[in-house]
A = this chain, B = another copy of it.
Amino acid sequence: MSKNTTYPGINAGRLWQRHLDMAKIGATAGGGVHRMALTNEDIEAHVLLVKWAEAHGFTTDLDAIGNMFIRRDGIDPSLPPVSSGSHTDTQPNGGRFDGITGVLAAFEALETIEEAGIKTRHPLETIIWNNEEGPRFTPSCMGSAVYSGDRKLDEMLTRQDSEGITMGTCVDELRKALPQAGSRELGAPIASFLEVHIEQGTRLESSGNIIGAVTGMQGYRRFEIQVTGEDSHSGTTPRSRRKDAFVAATDMTHALRDILWDDEDEMRYTIGRFEVRPGGVSVVPGQVNFYIDLRYHNKKTLDELGERIPQICKAHAGPCEMKILDALKVDPMEFPEEVISGIEAAADWHGFGHERMYSYAGHDARFAARLCPAGMIFIPCWKGISHNEAESAEPEHIAAAAQIITDMLIDQAI
């Protein structure tokens, strides 16, 4: 924190209004937002951001995987951008803050700095990473992982949603909706990256602090499992002749629950997608596809458990076949100490209560951190509820985070 600089105050009312405007795009009857990656709604959100950006003369670039970069030029065009951002996509029937708050806080910083007439050496950017959530196109964090080189562009562009539409087609749609956008090379240098996000937990709510300086992120293992048995008639087929994929798959999920049980309640084991086919009430189901989502902070334990999951599933397949269609391994990570202490210093400057905390969710900042010093700022989230229409955050907490982003971008870019 440079005390030589006067930091301009952000416009909290405008920032909240932008949240209300964005929440209309994909609004659900239950008060949430359903705006999955690069659907018409998500593209509409991108277009609205660009409209706001153009009012200030900011420019926009898109890269080959659909990440979007809103840019305020700096004095020295040879310097890489000092950046902040998050994502505009949501879970199915998700909330009004996950992702979009980080985008709008970053954009508010750009607007504030522009209106204050502050010249920076580095360009400033708001980044909207494509497809962070992953329910429409797997995997999650697709945009940031391709940008960082952790995922292959060609493979990701062929990923399909449940209707057979490819990510490649959707990125083309986004580009058509924004003909004025320039092009950005994947992996082009970034000077630094900050991401504001709701905590999606209850630690800040409990402590009363409003700023979390995030120290690192859980690692995770994800497996897509296919269990294949045989469709048969529920009335005529005795148990001994069944190849019941539902029975085999739930034997697997139960066995995994026993193995993955920890008294500390730190292990995060979830079956969130579980599809039974053909789905007739009176048909013994011949196929189940399901996903295992396992997260933990300790790399060694996570590695050991990750190794055992395929064996455990195989051991419980009974008369069915078990196949791993996809597996993903991401190690736990830590943010650089100078970014964490930078967030603390900025919070102190404004008198915002803060604490260091760990992220139990994955975020795009994980992949941005491969390219540059990166960090994350958490704000409280009502009852810790997220990925849910009831997700809620306070305008003053969002404003506090946006103020810290503004200060830090100035420090880093000036």
Contact = CB atoms under 8 A, between A and B. Distances in A.
Given A247-B257, A274-B274, A282 B232 contact: no
The 9 closest A-B pairs by CB, nearest first: A234-B270, A235-B361, A200-B236, A135-B280, A236-B360, A201-B236, A231-B388, A92-B278, A281-B291
Contact of A388 (B218, B271, B286, B295): B286
A386 B233 contact: yes
A334 interface: no
Contacts of A238: 265-266, 268
Interface residues of A, number: 67
A240 B253 contact: no
Interface string A240-274: 11001011001001100100000001111111111
Given A231-B388, A232-B388, A235-B362, 18 more contacts: A91-B278, A92-B279, A93-B231, A133-B282, A135-B283, A200-B235, A230-B388, A232-B387, A235-B295, A236-B361, A237-B268, A239-B269, A270-B283, A271-B276, A272-B279, A272-B280, A275-B276, A282-B362
A281 B235 contact: no
B268 A235 contact: yes
Contact of A272 (B134, B135, B273, B276): B276
Interface in A33-91: 91
A44 B377 CA distance: 61
A385 interface: yes
B93 A278 contact: yes
Interface in A289-305: 291, 293, 295
A147 interface: no
A137 to B, nearest CB: 11
A235 B220 contact: yes
A283 B246 contact: no
Of A254, A257, A387, most buried by chain B (CB within 10 Å of CB) is A387
A403 B173 CA distance: 62
A323 interface: no
A91 B257 CA distance: 34
Contacts of A265: 238-240
A281 B222 contact: yes
A281 B138 contact: yes
A123 interface: no
B134 A235 contact: no
